[in-house]
Amino acid sequence: MWGKLAAILGRLWARSGRVLGLAVLVAMLGLRWLDPQPIESLRVKTFDLFQRLKPLELAQQPVAIVDIDEASLAELGQWPWPRHYLAAMVQNLIGAGARVIGFDIFFVEDDAQSGKRYASRAFGLTPELKAALEALPSTDELFAQFIAQTPVVLGQVADQGEPGPRDRRPPVVTPVATMNGDPRPYLVGFRRAIRNIEILEKAAPGRGMVVLEPEFDGVVRRVPSVIRVGENMYPALSIEMLRVFSGAPQYLVKLDPQPGAGISSIVVAGVEIPTDRRGRLWVRYSRHQPDIYIPAADVIAGKFDPEKVKGKLVLVGTSAAGLQDIRTTPVESVLPGVEVHAQLIKSVMLGQHLNRPNNVDAIELFAALAAGLILIVVIPMASAAATLAVFVPMVAGMAYGSFYLLTEKSLVIDATFPILAAAAVFLLLMFGNYLREAAQRRQVRAAFSQYMSPALVEQLAEHPEQLKLGGETKEMTILFCDVRGFTAISERFKDNPQGLTDLINRLLTPLTDVILSRAGTIDKYMGDAIMAFWNAPLDVPDHAERSVETALEMFQAMNRFNQRRERKAKAVGVAFKGLEIGVGINTGDCVVGNMGSQQRFDYSVLGDAVNLASRLEGQSKVYGVKLVIGQNTAAKVADRFALLELDRIAVKGKAEAVRIFTIPSTEAKLSDPGFQKWRGAHDAMLAAYRAQAWEQAEARIGECRALGGGALDGFYELYAERVAEFRRTPPGADWDGVYRAETK
C-alpha cells in the first residue's frame, strides 16, 4: 500500500516538485510579511541569545548610578526622602565633578517634609510653632533654585490614564527639530504625562521620559527615544541627559525619506543614533555592573569616592525591590531599570549603539527568497550529500553573519527567518526527492533485476537519474573472457555434469566479482565465457583503464583459483590441470540499451567495437598471450600500462587492419628500465619484420626473448616461424605487414 502511494507521489513530485517548493517559499515570505508573534518571538529570542553569547564589554565607564538601595532606605528612612537630602546629593555630586545628573525618580507631589506643608498636616502644634514652620522657606523652592543652576534632568513618566486637573497646566517641553516630515504619527503615544511638580519642572534644565516598554514577553529590548503625549513630543531620560551634557538647545528627529518608512534616527549631542520606525532604540546590553553603583546614603553624607563620578553622567535610581523598578533584559533576568538607561547612554557615548535599518525587513525577505530559490534549483538535481553541502554552509553562514553583524558591527539583522524559510523549502524538497528516488529505485529494480547483478542494480538504484532505458550511442569499452581448452575440460566431466556446472560457477564467480568491483557491467555469460562492458548504464570516465585493470586482476584471480584447486586435488590424490583464460578488450562507439523481443529483452550492447573485442579474445591463442588489447583502448591507457605491440591484424570478417597490443605480465611496470629496454628491442623487431629485413628481425627476436625472460616466448616463436616462412616464400614488394586472420 505504502509502496504504491509512494510511487504515485514520486511521479507527481517529478513533475511539480519545484512548483511546490516555490509555493512553500511564497507562503513563508507572506508569513514574514504578516509577522505574527511566533515569528517575532523567534527573531527577538535569537537577538537575546546573541547578546548573552557576547555581551558588550567596555573598558570605559562614562556613567555612574546613585542607588537608592535597601541599605540607604534603612539608614535614611522610607521613600520619599526630604528634598534637602536630594539637594545635598546634587551638591555633592556636582562638587565631585559629575557632568549631568538624571533622576530616574519622580517628584509629583510637594515635599511632605517642607515646613509649610508639614504645618498644615500636623496636629497639636502651638500657634507660634505653626507660624514658625510656615515661615520657613519651601524645600521645593530651595531644591528648584538649586537644580536651576546645575545640569539636572528630571525624570517623568507617561501612561494611558485619563488626564487630570494637574495635567491641564501648560507643558514644559524640550525644543525639538524635525527633518523629512512630522514624526508624531510614528511615535509611541500616551494619553497623559505624569509630570513633576510645576516649580521643579520649570526650574530643571532638562526633563526626560522614563518609559521602559517591555516586549510581549516582558523583556526590555528597545527604549523609546521620543514619545508623544497628545500633540507634544518628549525625549527619553537618556536622550535628554545627552542633550544637556552637550549643551545643545534641542534635539533632532529624522524621518526616512521614503514615504511611510517612519523614523530613521534621532540626533543629539552631535551623534546620529539609528532608531526603528517608531523611534525606539535597540539597547546593546552588557552584564550587570555593580561597580558603577554608589549607595545614595553615602552620596548624601559625602562619604564616597569622587573619582567614581568625576566627568561622568550620573543617574539617580533604585535597586530596592520594594520600589518596583526591576526589569528583565536579554542579558540579565533581573536588572534595575535605572541601569537600562545607564547602558543605553554608555552604548551611545562609546559608539556601540545598535542599528536595525528601516529597510531591514526587505533585506531579510530577500535573503529568504535567495536562499529558497537556490535550494529549489539545486536540490531536485543534486545528491543528498551535495544538497547538504549547499544547505549547511548556507544556514551556518547566515547564522554567523547575523551574529557577527550584531556583535561587531552593531547591526540588528535577523537570520532566523531566512533560515526557517530555507529549512522549510529544504525539508519539503528533500522529502520530495526521497519519494521520487524511491519510485525511481523501484523502477530500476523492476527493469534490471531479471538480467543484471544485484550489486549493479543497487548502484543504478542509487543513481537512477543517470539511467536511460532506451537505446543510446556512446563510447564504451568491451571485454570478452574465455576459458582456454574448455572442450577438453568438458570431456573430463562427461559423466559428471553437476561437477562441470559447479566448476564453471566457481570459476565465473571470482571473475565476475573483479568485473563488478571495477564498475563493469556483465552483459551475458556464454557457457565458460563472459562478456562485460564499461561506461553504461552509468558513466565511467576512465572506462578503458578500468577494463585493463580488470583483465590483470582477473589473471591474478585465476592464479588464486588454480592454487585452491591444486591444494584440493592433492588432498584427495587426483591429477590436477590448471585453467587459463584469454581476454580481448576493445574501445569504440556502441549502441547500448534494452534489446530483445516483447516477451524477453536484455540490457545489452551492439556495434563493430563489440565484434572486434570478441575477435581479439580469439586471437589471444594465436599470439600465445593471455591478453589482446585493441588500438583504441591502447591509445587511452598507454601512459599507465606496460604495453607491447603484437601486430597489425585484419580479423576475420573485416578488411580494415588494426594494431593490437598486450601486457606481457601482471608484474610488468611501464616505469621499469628493464621493460623500457625490452620494448625498444621489441619495437625494433617489428620494424625489421615489416621492412622484410629478415636477418635483422631474427636477431631482434633472440634479443627480445632474452630481455623478456620467457614471458612472450610463444609470441616470439610465432614470429620466428613467420620469418622462416617469408624467407622461403617472400611476401612481395607490395606487402603491407598486415596479418589477415582466417579464424575467429
Q: Which residues of 597-701 form beta strands (DSSP E)?
A: 601-606, 627-630, 644-650, 658-662
Q: Write out the three cell numbers for 31.
A: 508569513
Inform me whether the pLDDT recorded for 444 exceeds 80. Answer: no
Q: How far apart are the first and last CA of the chain?
A: 54
For 265-320, give the secondary structure using H, E and C: EEEECCEEEECCCCCEEECCCCCCCHHHEEEHHHHHHCCCCHHHCCCCEEEEECCC
CA 579 to each of CA 483, 485, 492, 507: distance values in angstroms, whole numbers, following the listed order: 7, 8, 13, 9
Inform me whether the pLDDT recorded for 429 exceeds 80. Answer: no
Query: Does residue 111 contact residue 130 with C-beta atoms inside 8 Å?
Result: no
**DSSP string of 622-652?**
HHT-SEEEEHHHHHHHTTTS--EEEEEEE-T
Cβ burial of 497 (10 Å; 0-12, 13-18, 19+) is exposed
Q: Among the ranges 46-50, 296-300, 378-382, which has the highest mean pLDDT value? A: 296-300
Of 389, 390, 392, 399, nearest in space to 367 by CA: 399
Q: Beta 581-596 vs 472-483: how paired, if at all?
A: antiparallel
Question: What is the reported pLDDT for 119?
Answer: 47
Exposure b/e, 501-513, CB count within 10 A at least 16 = b:
eebbeebbebbbe
State the residue for C-alpha cell 623478456.
Answer: 708
Question: What is the reported pLDDT for 170?
Answer: 85
Backbone angles phi, psi at 127, to 5 degrees: -55, -40
Q: Write out the three cell numbers for 361.
A: 525587513
By mean pLDDT, which of 28-32, 114-118, 201-205 is the weakest?
114-118
pLDDT tier at 3, thresholds 50, 70, 90:
very low
With H, G, I as helix, E, B as strand and everything else as coil, classify residue 343: helix
Question: What is the reported pLDDT for 161?
Answer: 83
pLDDT in tens, 342-362: 989 888 888 888 888 878 888
By mean pLDDT, which of 184-188, 258-262, 531-535 is the weakest?
258-262
Question: What is the reported pLDDT for 467?
Answer: 57
Give the mean pLDDT of 493-517: 87
Give the mean pLDDT of 554-578: 90
Inform me whether the pLDDT recorded for 736 exceeds 60. Answer: yes
Where along the chain do its domains lie? Answer: 2-53+357-444, 63-108+151-349, 473-609, 638-744
Inform me whether the pLDDT recorded for 406 exceeds 90. Answer: no
Q: Which CATH number fits domain 473-609: 3.30.70.1050, 3.30.70.1230, 3.30.70.100, 1.10.3720.10?
A: 3.30.70.1230
Inform me whether the pLDDT recorded for 517 exceeds 90. Answer: no
Give the mean pLDDT of 197-221: 88
Q: Among the ranges 108-117, 459-468, 618-627, which has the highest mean pLDDT value? A: 618-627
Q: CA 615: distance to chain centroid?
A: 54
Query: Does residue 97 contact residue 304 with C-beta atoms inside 8 Å?
Result: no
Q: How many other C-beta atoms can be found within 10 angstroms of the C-beta atom of residue 430?
A: 16
Question: What is the reported pLDDT for 79?
Answer: 86
Question: What is the reported pLDDT for 16?
Answer: 62
pLDDT in tens, 122-161: 555 556 555 554 555 678 888 888 889 899 999 999 888 8
Inform me whether the pLDDT recorded for 602 exceeds 80. Answer: no
Query: Does residue 709 contact residue 742 with C-beta atoms inside 8 Å?
Result: no
Question: What is the reported pLDDT for 492?
Answer: 80
Inform me whether the pLDDT recorded for 393 exceeds 50. Answer: yes
Give the mean pLDDT of 378-385: 76
Cβ burial of 158 (10 Å; 0-12, 13-18, 19+) is buried
Q: Percent of the chain having pLDDT more than 70?
A: 88
Question: What is the reported pLDDT for 718?
Answer: 94
Question: What is the reported pLDDT for 434?
Answer: 67
Whole-number Å distance between alpha carbons of 672 and 104: 91
Structure pTM? Answer: 0.58
Give the mean pLDDT of 460-465: 61
Inform me whether the pLDDT recorded for 451 exceeds 60. Answer: no
Of 233, 242, 216, 213, nearest in space to 344 by CA: 242
Whole-number Å distance between alpha carbons of 222 and 217: 13
Give the mean pLDDT of 664-674: 93
More confident residue, 326 or 716: 716
More confident residue, 93 or 421: 93
Question: What is the reported pLDDT for 131?
Answer: 53
> Please, what is the average pLDDT of the chain?
85
Question: What is the reported pLDDT for 156?
Answer: 92
Question: What is the reported pLDDT for 117?
Answer: 55
